[in-house]
Amino acid sequence: MEIGWYLRFAKSDKIELTADPGAVPQIFYVLDIHPEWDVDIENVEDHVVAHYRRKEPVWSKTEAAGQE
Protein backbone atom coordinates (compact mmCIF):
# COMPACT_ATOMS: atom_id res chain seq x y z
CA MET A 1 0.00 0.00 0.00
CA GLU A 2 1.66 3.23 -1.12
CA ILE A 3 -0.27 6.08 0.41
CA GLY A 4 2.63 8.53 0.23
CA TRP A 5 2.34 9.08 -3.52
CA TYR A 6 -1.31 10.03 -3.16
CA LEU A 7 -0.51 12.52 -0.42
CA ARG A 8 2.49 13.97 -2.24
CA PHE A 9 0.71 14.63 -5.53
CA ALA A 10 -2.84 15.24 -4.29
CA LYS A 11 -4.77 18.02 -5.99
CA SER A 12 -7.17 18.02 -3.09
CA ASP A 13 -7.04 18.80 0.60
CA LYS A 14 -8.87 15.58 1.49
CA ILE A 15 -8.23 11.95 0.58
CA GLU A 16 -10.25 8.95 1.67
CA LEU A 17 -9.10 5.37 1.38
CA THR A 18 -10.41 1.96 2.35
CA ALA A 19 -7.98 -0.59 3.75
CA ASP A 20 -7.63 -3.83 5.66
CA PRO A 21 -7.39 -3.29 9.44
CA GLY A 22 -3.87 -4.76 9.30
CA ALA A 23 -2.73 -1.70 7.31
CA VAL A 24 -3.53 0.77 10.12
CA PRO A 25 0.13 1.07 11.25
CA GLN A 26 1.15 2.02 7.70
CA ILE A 27 -1.71 4.52 7.49
CA PHE A 28 -0.21 6.33 10.49
CA TYR A 29 3.43 5.78 9.48
CA VAL A 30 3.02 7.87 6.34
CA LEU A 31 2.34 10.91 8.56
CA ASP A 32 6.02 10.80 9.59
CA ILE A 33 6.91 11.39 5.95
CA HIS A 34 4.08 13.86 5.25
CA PRO A 35 3.52 15.81 8.48
CA GLU A 36 1.34 18.36 6.69
CA TRP A 37 -1.53 15.83 6.76
CA ASP A 38 -3.78 14.52 9.57
CA VAL A 39 -5.76 11.27 9.51
CA ASP A 40 -8.86 9.92 11.21
CA ILE A 41 -9.61 6.19 11.10
CA GLU A 42 -13.15 4.84 10.96
CA ASN A 43 -13.86 1.13 11.55
CA VAL A 44 -16.49 -0.16 9.10
CA GLU A 45 -17.44 -3.84 9.35
CA ASP A 46 -14.43 -5.80 8.03
CA HIS A 47 -12.31 -2.81 6.90
CA VAL A 48 -11.21 0.67 7.93
CA VAL A 49 -11.68 3.99 6.18
CA ALA A 50 -8.89 6.54 6.54
CA HIS A 51 -9.81 10.19 6.11
CA TYR A 52 -6.68 12.25 5.38
CA ARG A 53 -6.88 16.03 5.35
CA ARG A 54 -4.26 18.72 5.03
CA LYS A 55 -3.58 20.71 8.17
CA GLU A 56 -3.46 23.88 6.03
CA PRO A 57 -5.61 23.79 2.86
CA VAL A 58 -3.66 24.60 -0.31
CA TRP A 59 -6.13 23.82 -3.09
CA SER A 60 -9.24 25.69 -4.05
CA LYS A 61 -11.81 23.96 -6.23
CA THR A 62 -10.99 26.18 -9.23
CA GLU A 63 -7.25 25.48 -8.98
CA ALA A 64 -7.85 21.75 -8.80
CA ALA A 65 -10.05 21.93 -11.90
CA GLY A 66 -7.41 23.95 -13.79
CA GLN A 67 -9.58 27.08 -13.95
CA GLU A 68 -7.30 29.51 -12.17
Query: Which domain covers residue 21, as residue numbers?
Result: 3-64
Q: How buried is 8 (Cβ within 10 angstroms: 0-12 exposed, 13-18 middle, 19+ buried)?
A: exposed
- The one-character DSSP state at 3 is H
At 3-56, the pLDDT tens digits run 888 899 888 999 999 999 999 999 999 999 999 999 999 999 999 999 999 999
pLDDT (0 to 100) of residue 64: 54
Least confident of 1-5, 55-59, 61-65: 61-65
Tally of structural domains, the chain: 1
